[in-house]
A = this chain, B = another copy of it.
Amino acid sequence: MKLQMALAAGVLAACASGVAAQAPSLSEILAKSPASDWRALDPNNTLYMEMPGGRVVIELSPDFSPRHVANVRALAHADYWDGAAIVRVQDDYVVQWSRAEGDQHDLGTAAARIAVPEYDRPVGDLPFTRLPDPDSYAPETGFTHGFPAGRDGHGRTWMLHCYGVVGVGRDNPPDNGNGTELYVVIGQSPRHLDRNVAMLGRVVQGMELLSSLRRGTAPMGFYRTPADRTPIRSIRLAADVPPEQRTDLEVLRTDSRTFKAVIESRRFRRESWFVRPTGHINVCNVPLPVRPVPHGG
């Protein structure tokens, strides 16, 4: 038994050092990444959600739900969420916000109803950085324009319910989510929701302002009383905000060489803490690096 363990340890050490030579750490990879492997957030695809604790920054993905994204832009432009609130925080699941029931607000140019579900779409010419490891839910997983994505091998693609993604809440009729109620995933990725909801984008900064909210105690994590809710001051499209008030961030391009190196560094962890680097990764465990635009750009 002892001999077997010693042998196993030897094999592991050999693997780890072999891996170390090819897989630098995440911070080393990012430190030497070329500027061209990053892209600044497009103000027309960026939402600022102003909370009591600070700003949550959301990147929108018109690739996956163009009609819903356009509607949410219009809602933000109409100040639709001024006075809205976090109404639901279900542990290991989602944070959700909306106006209070019966509290109407002008929709501006936004549609009250979107007839097209936008739960998935043709692959078309979208880029796809595919992961090598199996997934419990989708035949293929990877990344498209900075978002986790699945593919079915039959020409369809969709955004995945990973931690921090933003989805469009809806009731039972599959086409009634118009973007007025949105949710963010705050736990183990609820991938059974994939292809059942229009996906809007993902939180790129301020996630902890949502994930640390007190859990609701009514069914499905809704708050029992309005007093329990966390108010939302506003949600604005960055393009509608004066440039000097914007949060200038850039994200690592997921079709870049740097990102592919990030994936490998997370599949084979070389930090000395690890005795057994797994050599695998799940799509929802891949970090999507974000940083301030260099030089205040």
Contacts and interface: CB of A to CB of B under 8 A. Distances in A.
A223 to B, nearest CB: 13
A187 B278 CA distance: 19
Contacts of A215: 208, 211-212
Contact of A134 (B134, B171, B194, B213): B134
Contact of A214 (B191, B212, B266, B277): B212
Contacts of A162: 188
Residues of A contacting B: mostly: loop
Given A172-B272, A275-B119, A187 B212 contact: no
Given A136-B133, A278-B137, A189 B188 contact: yes
A268 to B, nearest CB: 10
Contact of A192 (B188, B196, B285): B285
Contact of A188 (B89, B135, B163, B196): B163
Interface residues of A, number: 48
A189 B136 CA distance: 14
Contact of A191 (B92, B137, B174, B285): B285
Interface string A184-205: 0011111110111000000000
A280 interface: yes
A196 B133 contact: no
Interface string A253-297: 000000000000010010011111110111111000000000000
A251 interface: no
Contacts of A75: none
A167 interface: no
A196 B275 CA distance: 6
Contact of A194 (B92, B186, B192, B278): B278
A49 interface: no
Contacts of A174: 275
B187 A281 contact: no
Contact of A136 (B117, B272, B276, B280): B280
B188 A284 contact: yes
A174 B174 CA distance: 51
A164 interface: yes
A91 interface: yes
Contacts of A275: 117, 119, 174, 195-196
| A-B complex: 8 closest residue pairs judged by Cβ atoms | A136-B282, A208-B215, A134-B134, A163-B188, A91-B208, A133-B136, A137-B280, A174-B275
